[in-house]
Amino acid sequence: MNITKEQIDELNAIVKVAITKEDYQDRVENILKDYRKQANIPGFRKGQVPMGLIKKQYGKAVLVDEVNKLLQDNLNKYLTEEKLDVLGNPLPKQQDNFNWDSEEFAFEFELGLAPEFEVELKTKKPVTHYKIVADQKMIDEQVERIRKQYGKLISKEEVGKEDEVRGTFRNEEAEIDNNATLELKKISDKKAISALTGKKVGDTVTLSTKGLFKEDYLLAGALGLSNDKVENLDVKVDFTIEEINERQPAELNQELFDKLFGEGKVSSQKELEERIKEDSEKQFEQQADQKLLNDVTERLIETTEFDLPAEFLKKWIQTTGEKELSIEQAQEEYEKSEKGLRYQLIEGKILKDHNIELQFEELKDFTKGFIKDQMAQYGQMNPEEEELDRIAARVLSNQDEAKRLSEQLMSEKLLALYKEKANLKTKEVNYEDFVKEVYG
């Protein structure tokens, strides 16, 4: 067997594979001998069928199968030994005069080669690295939410502007019949607030759904409908009052602090606010890190220039799916996948240049940390190491879970590298401003 490569240009090559009779003859003969031993053909005893008949019946199929196996095995071996970094898979070239009755065969394959390029992490234009801080306004709001959540409900006879009112919304035509609690603070329609104020248990008030709340999800929850059904909903609903309560906020005392954080962990309002700030900013850090990872990725795709073997890749997309695509469909698929392919190559280059790889023990420890965090949420603060090992082994035996956790760990490694090497500009913002800047 002889394999040679013809370089077309930097990104395209042709591999030619020449197979002679000596390469496949013994393999074919041995398989046909096995066929002869097992063949059941009328008129012949088992194992006594003439070899000529076996060859006539099975010879061509066995030849084709063995030559293809030989071809694939040696082609893959050649690509590995020559260290050819190919994109997609080798594509067999159409050969109009190919003849399986010949004793020697010649095959040709098109290759799309990965480009050579450098990745500069320290880009000219810096990437914004957000540091999200919990400002006093947010801390005050969180304290107020805690006080309300752990406060007492005091029954009232008449609805006041700060009260919570439980009742049933009804509109037969719109198929609305839902029991819900209204916080008058969250109602944005002043007419609705005025209509409800002063009402008593048993009273029915007609409200307009349009503009009742600022957010659609609040209306959906009140009416018991899906978000898409309440979008632009403009109907009248009858709300029958069943219960009126004033929520008296809980006092900021040791009993509440112990209930929230465990006995003696927090002992003053100042310490409570510090804890809220610390916990909030830890959560914000995850969001800021994900934003940084996304932004550095985008910046690297923008600034790392290289060509791809586009025509080869379009042909590969066109012919290797479950069904063959048209040229136009292949072009469309290529355009959709080009950005992702570019980043795969960039990421691969970064990992190689900086010797970043995943070791199984690292992945196992990362998985155990993930499991510990989950168990802590359910009050299991100090699980046994053996138990963690057992659960981690079970989690990592699931290929999908192992892949997901591997990707998470790799993202953490890349993030650490970017924080160290990339051109970053730290910007301190509160959460509200972060949301405005990032999500508009």
Query: Do both 283 and 244 map to the same domain?
Result: no
| CATH number, residue 99 | 3.30.70.1050
- The least confident of 29-33, 39-43, 139-143, 331-335 is 39-43
Q: Is residue 136 part of a domain?
A: no
> pLDDT (tens digit, 9 = 90+) per residue, 195-239?
999 999 999 999 999 999 988 899 999 999 998 899 889 999 999
Longest dimension (CA), the chain: 105
Average predicted confidence (pLDDT) for the chain: 92
pLDDT at 195: 94
Q: How many domains does the chain have?
A: 3
| CATH number, residue 227 | 3.10.50
Last residue of a domain, one of 86, 113, 140: 113
**If pLDDT is split at 50, 70 and 90, which confidence band does 122 have?**
very high
pLDDT at 56: 87
The answer for residues whose C-beta is within 8 angstroms of residue 373's C-beta and 6 or more apart is none
Q: Is residue 265 part of a domain?
A: no
Q: Please list, residue by residue across 115-125, b when 16 or more beta carbons sit within 10 angstroms of its beta carbon and e when fewer do.
A: beeebebebee
Q: Is residue 198 part of a domain?
A: yes
Rounded Cα distance, 190 and 205, in Å: 14
Rounded Cα distance, 241 and 212, in Å: 17
Question: Over pLDDT 70: what percentage of the chain?
Answer: 100
Q: Is residue 134 part of a domain?
A: no
- Residue 327: domain span: 279-439
Rounded Cα distance, 256 and 267, in Å: 10
Structure tokens that stand for 265 in this block: 């962990």
Please report, as a single letter, which amino acid is at residue 426. Answer: T
Rounded Cα distance, 342 and 353, in Å: 17
pLDDT at 323: 87
